[in-house]
Amino acid sequence: MGREAGKDEKQNGLSNLKTPSTDQDLSDTLLQIRSSKIPAVINYGASWCRVCNQIMPSFQQFSKEFTKLSFAYADIDDCPETTQHIRYTPTFHFYRDGQRVDEMFGAGEERLHDRLWLHS
């Protein structure tokens, strides 16, 4: 999904989810998060990760439900330089006032929902 498509979807209320597909895109997304006052969550996953694929539909749904949060999904294989610190997939990073304030490893729909509620 390109940047323009993401903007259009957000304006239509369909989604609040960015999917940076290169290291540069992810770096830009991280810069936007760090310079923004909007709380954000980044889901670091991989296409080959079974657990990542299981939680992704819920993550997409939550991006529509939690409209005060900014959402991003980054595939570690598409962004190898920017995600080299990620050791477990899925890993969720939560940001507030531009700073990472929380981290969650693994999936679990209810666990993720509760964490998103906490940070929204």
Active site residues: 49, 52
Q: Starting from the edge strand earliest in sequence, which strands make up the sheet with 91-96, in order?
A: 17-18, 70-75, 40-45, 91-96, 99-105
Distance CA 29, CA 24 (A): 9
Contacts of 12 by beta carbon, 8 Å cutoff, 6+ apart: none
